[in-house]
Amino acid sequence: MAKIPTPHIEAKAGDFAKTVLMPGDPLRAKFIAETYLKEVRCVNQVRGMLAYTGTYKGKELSVMGSGMGMPSIGIYSYELFHFYDVDNIIRVGSAGAIQEDVNVMDVVIGMGASVVSDYPDQFGCPGHLAPLADYHLLSTAVESAKELGTDVKVGNILSEDAFYSERSKDCFQKMGVLAVEMESGALYLNAARAGKRALCILTISDHLYRSEELSSEQRQNGFGKMIEIALETAVRV
């Protein structure tokens, strides 16, 4: 374990649980902690990237914001995996639908994350790495969703650096990619390199081919089904 605290996280050794839920928005992390966890304590406030540790159904869990984009989640997930001895990170985020049969408020689980970014280049592999979710987390999440009575769509998602992108998504739609977001590719690659486990569970907040979108307040506080799946998964791993 490297020296901690890090430049980005002020937590001490042992402040994080083995499993961390990671929304992009730090205020969503605060909402999850205050709504679902017991015995909650704040373990990070550096740069406003709030992190909390508490218990859910008797098991210690943490929740921390990741910020937006692969560079941001790349930093935080790397430090959690390598410096704070975290074993599992479950991203709980929002995404834009690409497929016609994926609708606003649907829950999508990313089995793989196609990447439009130079982030994978740092690992020096020839060809193209395929960032994948951990199968144990994935299968546990699917089973948890069934028990909760929540329908989920499982498949490939797209992680892209640019939010305001002029690049067409038509190719990805034709290839069956379900939705686009900005973080999961880096998370999956960091987990693979560290020998740890990661999963991305998303709620659809808008549709790229239809004029449908949620408000910022709905994005912050309205993702209960996704959060419940993530929590039930976390207590089983």
What is the Cα–Cα distance from 84 to 29, expressed in whole angstroms?
18
The residue behind tokens 């498949």 is: 155
Catalytic residue status for 206: yes
Catalytic-role residue among 85, 87, 161, 206: 206
CATH class of 19-234: alpha beta
Which pTM value belongs to this model?
0.95
CB 56 within 8 A of CB 234: yes
Residue-wise pLDDT tens digits, 208-227: 999 888 877 776 666 899 99
Q: For the chain, which ranges sit under pLDDT 50?
A: none
Residue 34: the pLDDT is 97
Q: Cα–Cα–Cα angle for 221, 225, 227, nearest 5°?
A: 65
- Which residues are 206's β-sheet partners? 96, 213
What is the Cα–Cα distance from 107 to 130, expressed in whole angstroms?
22
Residue 160: the pLDDT is 97
Residue ranges covered by each domain of the chain: 19-234
- The H helix count followed by the E strand count for the chain is 7, 10
Residue 215: the pLDDT is 78
- What's the token pair of residue 66? 């990741």
Residue 67: the pLDDT is 97
Residue 214: the pLDDT is 82
Residue 213: the pLDDT is 85
Residue 217: the pLDDT is 74
Residue 101: the pLDDT is 96
